[in-house]
Amino acid sequence: MEKNYNALLQSKMSKESFEKLSALKNNKVNEFVGFFIDHCEPKSVYVCTDSESDIQHVREMALSKSEEQNLANSKQTIHWDNYEDQARDKKNTRYIVYKENLENMKTLNSLEYEQGYNEILEISKGIMKGKDAVVMFLSEGPTQSVFSIPCVQFTDSWYVAHSEFILYRSAYSHFLNMKEEEKDDFFRFIHSAGKLNEKGNTVNLDKRRIYMDTQNNIVYSMNNQYAGNSVGMKKHSMRLAINKSRFEGWLCEHMFVMAAVDKDKDRKTYFCGAYPSACGKTSTAMIPGEQIVGDDIAYFRNINGEFRAVNVEYGMFGIIKDVNEKDDPVIFENLLKDQEVIFSNVLKGPDNKPYWLGMGVDNPKAGRNHFGDWTEGVKDSKGNEVDVAHANARYTMRLEYLDNIDKKGFESKDGVKVEGILYGGRDSDTTVPVEESPSWKDGILMKAATLESETTSATLGAEGVRTPSPMANMDFVSYPLGEYTMNNIKFGEGVKQTPKIFSNNYFMRGTDGKFMTSKLAKKVWLHWADGRIHNEFEAYDTPTGKIPKYEDLAPMFKKYLNEDFSKEDYTYLFTFRCTKWIDKLERTKAYYAKMDPHTPQEIFDYWDTMIEKIKTAREKFGDLIKPGDYVA
């Protein structure tokens, strides 16, 4: 029997806030908000609509409570997390799972439901005492759309609330217009920064917990401030969405959405792309001359037989390290403008301007950062020298500020039609810079499932440790990996116009240990893929797909980069390395067997068949097969 929380809601809210909540006529919303007011015991609760006055109230509260501080540019603010709360807490980010499902989830950092639920309720009991809290209504994806996932956030952090108003679309009106049968279907997030110290930072980090209940679409996040742990609408919501898509026949992927622009042909081709961390995801989405729709998370749906995608988010929560005028001119320019940006865990200099690692300017010798009062050379309690900013420092900014945004695609409630998918890893000696997959299934099993990221090495040319990263999504996959992989295959094969899949690798090294191409060579690989989609280039076969011909690439290097591209470099880059690929597939098989013992046998059978195919090619053409030498 549902409890009536009206009296409690009225006692904690202004008349205006209570009326905003009541206007929704949504019992599940009232139950959620009422339960956690009763349990967490905030002093007051403010309810936000989509109005600019409510959003401005959130900004002002973040400043008045010193969760943020003003900078020299009046619309910019800065926030600092606890010195020990600077990244996602993977250890304490767990799924709480019913007993009957626990066996299938044991490799995904899971906890038995009753144990996890009781623990998080114990930790959160009275956690908001004396604090003012806020309830927000937001949407993953465009509002009033087939892609929309409505969400409710309840938090005592006004920095979190401010961040989410930048990163996501406000959706109070969406909730107001829900049909009766839709009113139970939304995501819920309850967050508290917990007890704070004199710096305004979370104290009880030993009780930092992020527990996700994908069975009931609720996330509990306690005793943290760093946005990767506290902003439930980002990667926590992504895990809920991946599980939701499992049962509804769509996909949630860790991908950018962008458009390759061919001005000569007056053509725009939409691509999505997945790359593990430090493998080129953001730099691909932001290639000069192309257009961006989104940089991080995409939803895919089959709409009238078309493979269509939306950017789930409205803003960017980006790593700021090495964002400078040379390497990231578009973002860098926007970070210097007087427009709404939250900087986190960077230095606030004596001039009230932000400074970060790799900014490309001279830093002040003193200021305030995530450490506290900072001077050059200062050391922390462990004897480590504290840098000017944290390596994982961030900026939170609206995507609409970018000059290279594809506004039509960004705002479309029906998404964009996707014609190409890119999967890019990092390895120094195996995968060619760009290769087209023969089919969708081949692409998922040979390009996406085999993704790896190689750790960098102090010794140039030395082989690093290769970390498996299927679909560049392993931190967020919320149900068994084998089933998730099969659902990717089924979705792509279920549309009338299946996108082409391409692999990328920007990190091939030569015999001297140096990278073979410049950072911007990715523009050439992108436009070759675009040309293949539109049947403009012929290609050479390899045992795993199709690669470019030299006579097509050389003119593109000159056109797009004004660089010469030698036949010698081409041959080295696009040589198929048989033994290396066999080893890669064996690593992938071992990883899937470890992560999901119930992986369908047909996946392993496919890889075994490919291994035999490559062995046959090696016997016939040699271990190193040069472009054009392979005949299927």
β-pairing, 416-425 with 267-274?
A: parallel
Which secondary structure element, helix H or strand E, spans residue 417, and what is its range?
strand 416-425
Q: Which two tokens stand for residue 20?
A: 């905003």
Active site residues: 279
Structure confidence at residue 461 (pLDDT): 44
Burial 378-405 (b: 16+ CB within 10 A, else e): eeeeeeeebbbbbebbbbbbbbebbebb
Structure confidence at residue 326 (pLDDT): 86
Residues 6+ apart with CB under 8 A from 203: 194, 195, 196, 197, 223
Which secondary structure element, helix H or strand E, spans residue 333, and what is its range?
helix 329-336
Query: Are 389 and 345 in contact, with CB atoms under 8 Å apart?
Result: yes
Lay out the sheet containing 394-398: strands in order across: 69-70, 76-79, 341-344, 394-398, 315-319
- Residue 325 CA: distances (Å) to CA of 135, 250, 335, 358, 521: 38, 39, 10, 10, 19
Structure confidence at residue 458 (pLDDT): 34
Structure confidence at residue 460 (pLDDT): 37
Spans of the chain below 50 pLDDT: 1, 457-462
Question: CB count, 10 Å around CB of 265?
Answer: 12
Domain-by-domain residue ranges, the chain? 6-68+89-247, 253-314+410-625, 317-399
pLDDT in tens, 25-82: 999 999 999 999 999 999 999 999 999 999 999 999 999 999 999 999 999 999 999 9
Cα distance between residue 399 and residue 78, in whole Å: 19
Cα distance between residue 357 and residue 362, in whole Å: 10
Quick one: 317-399 is in which CATH superfamily?
Phosphoenolpyruvate Carboxykinase, domain 2 (2.170.8.10)
Q: Considering just the CA atoms, what is the radius of gyration of the chain in Å?
A: 25
Q: Is the CATH code 1.10.443.10 the one for domain 253-314+410-625? A: no
Q: Count Cβ atoms within 10 A of the Cβ of residue 326 and give its class: 0-12 exposed, 13-18 middle, 19 or more buried.
A: exposed
- In degrees and rounded to multiples of 5, residue 417 shows phi and psi of -80, 120
- Residue 90 CA: distances (Å) to CA of 156, 236, 237: 23, 12, 15
- CATH of 6-68+89-247 among 3.50.50.60, 3.40.449.10, 3.10.20.80, 3.40.50.150: 3.40.449.10
Long-range contacts of 591-598 (CB under 8 A, 24+ apart): 591/468, 591/470, 592/449, 592/470, 592/481, 592/482, 592/485, 594/107, 595/107, 595/474, 595/481, 596/107, 596/480, 596/481, 596/482, 596/483, 598/104, 598/480, 598/482, 598/483
pLDDT in tens, 518-549: 889 999 999 999 999 999 999 999 999 999 99
- Residue the block writes with tokens 């409570």: 65
